[in-house]
Structure 1
Amino acid sequence: MKDQRTTETDEVTKQLESADEHIQLAVDLIYLLESNKIDPNVVVKALDIVSADFNKKLNK
């Protein structure tokens, strides 16, 4: 018999698998950054640079 936590995890996994690609990428990035214990201030500064770079690419 599955416990409550396993059931909830299975449900979240199903929802994520059917989520839009940008949501899946965001979740993966959050997991990666949190798993590596990156300072949130560093993350925000880095993401500003990444965002600016990709916005330039969109506007070409």
Structure 2
Amino acid sequence: MSDRTPASELDTAPEEVKLAVDLIFLLESHQIEPSVALAALEIVKMDLEAKLT
């Protein structure tokens, strides 16, 4: 019998899914209001899009 546990779905998920789960956990654990989180994410999105160009 192996001492390794099977990989969870998150372990094998794409990196963007892992990051999304981490961000959701961070926002919820800090009790960030959804409207504030969305506004902040829009700023982050604009910043990252600018870096792509």
Query: Under a length normalisation based on structure 2, what TM-score does the superposition of the two structures give?
Result: 0.85
Instruction: Provide runs of 4+ in structure 1 moved above 3 Å.
Output: none
SS state at 1:27 partner: helix
Higher helix share: 1
Structure 2 unaligned blocks of 5 or more:
1-5
Whose relative contact order is higher, 1 or 2, with alpha carbons under 8 Å and at least 6 apart? 2
List alignment gaps of at least 5 residues for structure 1: 1-10
* Aligned counterparts, 1:7-46, within 5 A: 14-46=8-40
In the alignment of these two chains, the number of paired residues is 48
RMSD over aligned Cα atoms: 1.5
Matched with 2:3 is: none
TM-score, normalised on structure 1? 0.75
- 1:32-57: CA deviation from partner (whole Å, max 9, x where unpaired): 00011001000000000000000000
